[in-house]
Amino acid sequence: MISRRNFLKTSALTLGGMSLPSLISCAGGNENKAAEAAAPAPKEFIGLQTYSLGAELAADVPGGLAKVKSFGYTDLELAGYNNGRIHAGYGDGDEGYAPADYKKLCDDLGLNILSAHLGTPSQYKTPEAEFTEAWKKTVEDHVTLGCTYIVDPSMPQCATIDEVKQACDRFNLAGKICKEAGIQFGYHNHNNEFTKLATPEQIKAKREEIIEMMKKRFPQMKPTDEMINGMMRRNAPGTMYEQLYMDNTDPELVCFQLDVYWCMIGDQDPCEWITEHSDRIKLLHIKDRWIIGDSGMMNWKNIFTRAKAVGIKHFFVELESDPKGRKQFEGVEKSAQFLASQDYVW
Ligand code: MG
């Protein structure tokens, strides 16, 4: 199973090398100044992706979850399932809990386990019978946990449209097995889902279009491969992976969890995606550079307002590790304080 941490390590685009997101309607904002002035108010729902706490949670799971509850979080999305055990944080570094024991721990604290991340279906080249057997057991364990959702956060390795279709078939199968168990299956994006994949015909046609355009605009110039390839990169043909996943999966079996931060890093407007795909996007990941609301690059008011308008009910705060080395619990607590202080957060 590919862990989220390994996935992020191997992801082609990282924070260090990313392009700046364009100035779009969900970018920017001064909410944090408002957070300092406003009095915190309890919210009915604030979700946390437990990956945010990493090894700090693994060091003391009951104590850590009690802190999470005290910060105002109501719901969890787990990330550490491995071989029938629920691990804290990154899915390793501790012995883990049996699903029933982990659920009891959360029940006793008043935390609801709404969702869990599992990367298995992304490995769509695993033979179907082998996948089905393992997935049924995995889903069973998540029924024990009381999950409403299981979400795959790992992008399948697909170099062609045909491979995307194979991956989507596997997502549909994963979703069907989930549905039979009363769980909704979903897919979570990073930024690479907003790059395009084209057929050989689309690439050929775009190349010819660029050459023709260059001939007309610069008749004295003979276009080099380097110039044409540069134009191809800036005017990539094809369809975004995220759209291909939506087009090739069954809406009854596969929903989408939009990570609004990675959507921005992919130079996309999360509000547009939320609006245009309101039939598919059922969950959000609320993520910022670190503490939610601190960077000013995310217009949380627009995002939450738009999400409410289309009927999205659940979101999970998610933090990567802090480049400045602050404690993850500090970031998780301050993120909850920020959200609790915003009147547009439902
Ligand atoms: Mg995320």
Task: Give the start-to-end residue ranges of the domains of the chain.
Answer: 4-198+238-340
**Digits of tens for pLDDT over the chain (346 positions)?**
334 433 333 333 333 333 344 344 555 554 455 555 555 567 889 999 999 998 899 999 999 999 999 999 999 999 989 989 999 866 566 889 999 999 999 999 999 999 999 999 999 999 999 999 999 999 999 999 999 999 999 999 999 999 999 999 999 999 999 999 999 999 999 999 999 999 999 999 999 999 999 999 999 988 899 999 999 888 899 999 999 999 999 999 999 999 999 999 999 999 999 999 999 999 999 999 999 999 999 999 999 999 999 999 999 999 999 989 999 999 999 999 999 999 999 8
In the chain, % helix, strand, coil (3-state, to 5) comes to: 45, 15, 40
110 CA → ligand 1 middle, Å: 24
CB 106 within 8 A of CB 78: no
| pLDDT for position 174 | 98
CA dist 241 and 309 (Å) reads 26
Could you tell me the pTM of the whole model? 0.87
CA dist 66 and 15 (Å) reads 31
CA dist 99 and 143 (Å) reads 9
77 CA → ligand 1 middle, Å: 11
257 CA → ligand 1 middle, Å: 8
212 CA → ligand 1 middle, Å: 42
What the block records as the tokens of 322 is 């802090």
Torsion angle (degrees, nearest 10) of CA 286, 292, 298, 303: 40
> What one-letter code names the amino acid at 86?
I
CA dist 221 and 223 (Å) reads 6
95 CA → ligand 1 middle, Å: 25
190 CA → ligand 1 middle, Å: 7
| pLDDT for position 93 | 67
98 CA → ligand 1 middle, Å: 25
- The CATH fold of domain 4-198+238-340: TIM Barrel (3.20.20)
CA dist 257 and 264 (Å) reads 14
127 CA → ligand 1 middle, Å: 28
Check residue 84 and report its DSSP letter: T
227 CA → ligand 1 middle, Å: 36
4 CA → ligand 1 middle, Å: 9
The three-state secondary structure class of 87 is coil
250 CA → ligand 1 middle, Å: 22
317 CA → ligand 1 middle, Å: 8
153 CA → ligand 1 middle, Å: 7
318 CA → ligand 1 middle, Å: 6
287 CA → ligand 1 middle, Å: 7
| pLDDT for position 222 | 87
| pLDDT for position 234 | 86
Paired strand residues for 152: 187
